[in-house]
Amino acid sequence: MIISERVKRLREQSLNAVEKLSAERALLMTQFYKSDEARELSIPVKRAKAFEYLLKNKKLYIGDGELIVGERGPAPKETPTYPEISLHSLRDLEILNTREKVSFVVDEEVRKIYETEIIPFWKGRSNRDRIMNLMTPEWLTAYDAGIFTEFQEQRAPGHTVLGYKMFRTGFLNLKEEIKESIRSLDFFRDRAASDKYEELKAMDIACDAIIMYANRYAGELEKLAGAETDPDRKAELGAMAEICRKVPANAPETMHEILQHYWFIHQGVITELNPWDSFNPGRLDQHLFPAFRKEMEAGTLKMEQMYDLLGCFWIKFNNHPSPPKMGVTASESSTYTDFCLINLGGVKTDGTDAVNEMTYILLDVIRAMRILQPGSMIQVSRKNPDRFIHKALDIIRTGFGQPSCFNTEAIIQELLRQGKSLEDARNGGASGCVETGAFGTEAYWLTGYFNLPKILELTLYDGFDIRTNKQAGLKTGHARNYNSFDELLDAFKAQIRFFADIKIRGNNVIEKTFANWLPVPFLSLLIEDCIKKGKDYNNGGARYNTSYIQGVGLGTVTDMLTSIRYNIYDRKKFTWDQLVNALEKDFTGDEKIRHELIYNTPKYGNDDDYADQHAVAVFEMYYDAVNGRPDPRGGVHRINMLPTTSHVYFGSVTGATPDGRKAYKPLSEGISPSQGVDRQGPTSVLKSASKIDHLRTGGTLLNQKFTPQFFEDEDSYTNLTALIRSYFALDGHHIQFNVVNAETLRDAQKHPELYRDLIVRVAGYSDYFNDLGEDLQNEIIQRTEQAGA
Amino acid sequence: MKGLIFSVKRYSIHDGPGIRVTFFMKGCPLSCWWCHNPEGISPEPENVVIDEIIGEHKFRKTESAGEYYTVDDILAILGKDRIFLDESKGGVTFSGGEPLHQAEFLVKALKACKAGGYHTAVDTSGYAPAGSLRRIIPFTDLFLFDLKHLDDTLHYKYTGVSNVIILENLQLLLGSGRDIMVRIPVIPGFNDDDSHLRDLRDFLLKNKSENLKKINLLPYHKTGSSKYKRFHIPYRMEGIRQPSRERMNELKTFFSETGITVKIGG
């Protein structure tokens, strides 16, 4: 792809735009909630009317030269807030404005609006306040201790991806479906019929709202076209206006229509609420391919035009940082990235190889655009050609961190095990960091990270948290009283179960608050079978519903258990008192013990069963505590193993650990080994990582850092391809490559101004190195570098 | 019977095709000035002192360079990586040191690997009794054969041995029908002058055959110098610079004139 002047300019603009907080949405939402009309409506209809009010009154933005239109805020990177979900205090705004990383400019006008309009109205009324009031003391104690985090405290439930249907359907068609669904309501036997009626009415309003919004853009474009003096741009604006009159009301037919259609939908979802993982077009190569082929055959689209369209589309994602967070949530996920993940490759609905010409075109776009969002991944199926992987490696080698590699066969098996149909499973993929989902049919909510090493730490202290000075866990005894390793394991298992219970109870209460107070009629239009069931996405309307709790620190907790078994029980190198004493002092004066723990103790990541058996043991305990337990949406809880950046936060609340890790340092991330302990090369890491049963999760994350030397020639591509395919034959879910050398990174730390474009793979996503906190930067530098042979 | 091995490398990708496990066998009759595995020279286990660092504290540890492995140990290690070796059409490589220095063990190990279905490669200096070589031929799919210098006097000066046996053994292998890759270390000031390069090219051209699959040009690199200190071996390559990428590309073009595939690196 050769980037045109137009795309180059828009890209620069997007990269240079400053993240700024916009009060527009908060203000409109407040006005609507204060209105007389709002008081008279059922909750679903009220939310739909609020959505309509936003789209009717929000400022439109058409950038010079843009081909795809629409912004969530008044301009690129101007980011709205969602006071009905969580209310920023003036102090929060001050922090956002001044903090070094992931900051948002908050100007005096916004501050004033917050002080006089937003805070007075929403104080005590946001869903965050509601949630915190509903949580039990045990939940709050565990939350403060850093045992788990809570996803839905500052953002709405998300994790859903657009499926095939919406790329072939217009909202006028959906209105017909709604009509049909209302017609078939059974007011005689179905006690919920009236509720369904209100929900369906709300969905219908949401359809009209998004069509109205597109027409507003059409009007604005027509106005601009009328005033435009450049004949080329004039024609372009005219054509864009026509497209906005057609979609999303009607099904899109051309590439340009599909992209604009999707982008209206995207804006709808992220304006209605602030669902996690933004929103995502999913299997984009599949969605675009039929129109692409048709237009190419008809000669109605030139390659340069197509690349221009895709370039403009890509930039749209980059214009939308994730909504500003506060408190713990800001550190568990400290990034502007909003986790859009374009899926390429995999298999088609009928199970055949899905790699097509558009797959390669989009890989070209990813390579040429080189921007943070949207993220990208390749789904690697046994049926996909090696050429596809080689082309992805070509991008990975540049140190961009994208695309990451996923195992299609594992994803399908994971979904089938959860009861999805074969077709829905094949149409699925991964979104967010690594989360498996059935696209277009599933609401798979992430609910929070779960700090496994911290729970083991509590198990050593009779359930007492030495950092917050509180009894957070069960009284299972003190380390020195465990007579055998098995006794310790039993206690650990009981503690995991105890905290899983607290978390799940909390989840079930929290999920219900979204069903009751914050339905999402617009998002419900997009995910099957909400219309058919007359049920909201937030209330179990989707065909499949899943609630995930994400286990964190597998490498660290495995090394902790291994060290305890090896040094205390098997080799009897120290007593519990000696070890606990050293941990309490963070190894000050006990360097000899720490040396033994680090250098002379087996570690996870070296294909050594002595260590790896504990990864399996922890996995099974965690799985048993969570998997299959009901959620209020008719779905169940399941596990996955990914940290985003929470391993840094969780590390910061966890004291020194028996693997030799110093207090408050980051935990291991994903299912990767602890930083620097894998000494046997990548095949051993992959072997260790494949000992847990990936197919019983909804995703695992493995990060493998390589120096660029591993990508130097054709042979190395072939070998890396074999490495990936072997890991996937072992049922590994995901692997990502960080290609960079430590020297470059150290230099980047010293001279950030020279490395503004440096992107590294963090954990399931890429980020600008400069935007990472120093601890996270250090951790990435530290991760084992397999030196080129 | 056991073999003395000083290093095992998994995900080895420069010692033959695909992903391999390379066993570095201890003991070598040569003493090349540029050797980057000096710990492979002595045929006995050696003690090495290693400093392990914890913050500001140094912990001194004595480790043995060289451990004894049975054939079963070798098969067990290969078994762990089998899926990677199979998928990549890789296998096992015995390197060194000079693997033929432990010929008895090498024969047994190769035979067992072959029986286990692994592709086998031997990375050799070629300096070994022809009889030993003949014994491993049936169980070796690929020979990585070092060719350092064609002039016997210079060869003797820089490696400590004559090249007569080496060149004879190369002929033996060329006639054996086994795959061969000739590896030429490019050592500035030793074997990279124009006239020797021409001789090498002509030699390869003359010996070109179906089973001479590839010429690997291995640029001299300095990674070995710190090891020398550890093993108290004098380092004689002070001041020698690594050949530049441009120079290596030049040589690649030059040797490509033979019509044999040339690769920079393994």
As given in the structure block, the two tokens for residue A18 are 């400053």
Q: Could you tell me if residue A667 is left (phi over 0), alpha (psi between -120 and 50 degrees) or otherwise beta? A: beta
Q: Are A660 and A598 in contact (CB under 8 A)?
A: yes
- The domain boundary, picked from A682, A701, A720, lies at A701
The contacts of residue A462 (CB under 8 Å, 6+ apart) are A475, A476, A477, A478
CA distance A719 to chain B (A): 6
Nearest by CB to residue B52, choosing from A599, A684, A687, is A599
Q: Are A440 and A524 in contact (CB under 8 A)?
A: no
Distance CA A404, CA A374 (A): 13
Which residues, listed in sequence order, are joined to residue B119 by a DSSP beta bridge?
A: B91
Domain CATH for B118 = 3.20.20.70
Q: Taking the alpha carbons of A489, A490, A492, A493 in that order, is the dihedral positive or negative?
A: positive
From chain A, pick out residues whose CB is under 8 angstroms from the CB of B89.
Answer: 722
State whether B57 and A591 contact (CB < 8 Å). Answer: yes
Residues of B (84-123) whose Cβ lies below 8 Å from A = 84, 87-90
Question: pLDDT tens digits for B73-87?
Answer: 999 999 999 999 999
Q: What is the pLDDT of residue A329?
A: 61
Angle at A639 between CA A638 and CA A642, to 5 degrees: 145
Q: Could you tell me if residue A633 is left (phi over 0), alpha (psi between -120 and 50 degrees) or otherwise beta? A: alpha
Q: What is the pLDDT of residue A93?
A: 93
Q: What is the pLDDT of residue A788?
A: 29
Q: What's chain B's average pLDDT?
A: 93
Q: In this complex, how many residue pairs, one in chain A and one in chain B, have their CB atoms less than 8 Å apart?
A: 70
Residues in chain B: 266
Residue A297, judged by CB atoms within 10 A of its CB (0-12, 13-18, 19+), counts as: exposed
3-state secondary structure A594-650: HHHHHHCCCCCCCCCHHHHHHHHHHHHHHHHHHCCCECCCCCEEEEEECCCCHHHHH
Residue B87 is assigned to a structural domain of this protein: yes
From chain B, pick out residues whose CB is under 8 angstroms from the CB of A710.
Answer: 13
CA distance B81 to chain A (A): 7
From chain B, pick out residues whose CB is under 8 angstroms from the CB of A729.
Answer: 83, 87
**Number of folded domains that form chain A:** 2
Which domain covers residue A592, as residue numbers? 444-701
Q: What is the pLDDT of residue A117?
A: 97
Distance CA A340, CA A537 (A): 20
Mutate which: A386, A606, A719, A724, vs B, most B CBs within 10 A: A719
CA distance B202 to chain A (A): 28
State whether B57 and A684 contact (CB < 8 Å). Answer: no
- The domain boundary, picked from A701, A731, A749, lies at A701
State whether B80 and A607 contact (CB < 8 Å). Answer: yes
State whether B59 and A592 contact (CB < 8 Å). Answer: yes
Nearest by CB to residue B18, choosing from A680, A682, A722, is A722
State whether B18 and A716 contact (CB < 8 Å). Answer: no
Read off the pLDDT band of B225 (50, 70, 90): low
Residue A30 is assigned to a structural domain of this protein: no
CA distance B222 to chain A (A): 13
Q: Which segments in chain A show pLDDT lower than 50? A: 764, 784, 786-789
- The domain boundary, picked from A651, A682, A701, lies at A701
Residue keyed to tokens 């805020």: A73
Distance CA A71, CA A330 (A): 24
DSSP for residue A3: P
Which domain covers residue B234, as residue numbers? 3-186+224-238
In this structure, which amino acid lies at residue A676?
Answer: G
Read off the pLDDT band of B63 (50, 70, 90): confident
A709 touches chain B (CB under 8 A): no
Residue A448 is assigned to a structural domain of this protein: yes
CA distance B100 to chain A (A): 23
Residue B27 is assigned to a structural domain of this protein: yes
Q: Is the pTM of this model over 0.80?
A: yes
3-state secondary structure A52-88: HHHHHHCCCCCCCCCCCCCCCCCCCCEECCCCCCCCC
Residue B263 is assigned to a structural domain of this protein: no
Q: Are B23 and B4 in contact (CB under 8 A)?
A: no
Q: What is the pLDDT of residue A786?
A: 39
Reported ipTM: the value is 0.94
Question: pLDDT tens digits for A153-181?
Answer: 999 998 899 999 999 999 999 999 999 99
A212 touches chain B (CB under 8 A): no
State whether A683 and B59 contact (CB < 8 Å). Answer: no
Residue A713 is assigned to a structural domain of this protein: no
State whether A716 and B13 contact (CB < 8 Å). Answer: yes
Q: Is A433 an active-site residue? A: yes
Q: Is A435 an active-site residue? A: yes
Residue A87 is assigned to a structural domain of this protein: no
Q: What is the pLDDT of residue B209?
A: 93
B52 touches chain A (CB under 8 A): yes
Query: Which residue among A257, A433, A511, A528 is the active-site one?
Result: A433
A488 touches chain B (CB under 8 A): no
**Number of folded domains that form chain B:** 1
Q: Going by DSSP bridges, is the β-strand pair B119-124/B142-146 parallel, antiparallel, or unpaired?
A: parallel
Residue B60 is assigned to a structural domain of this protein: yes
Residue A719 is assigned to a structural domain of this protein: no
Q: Are A446 and A550 in contact (CB under 8 A)?
A: yes
From chain A, pick out residues whose CB is under 8 angstroms from the CB of B84.
Answer: 683, 686, 722-723, 726
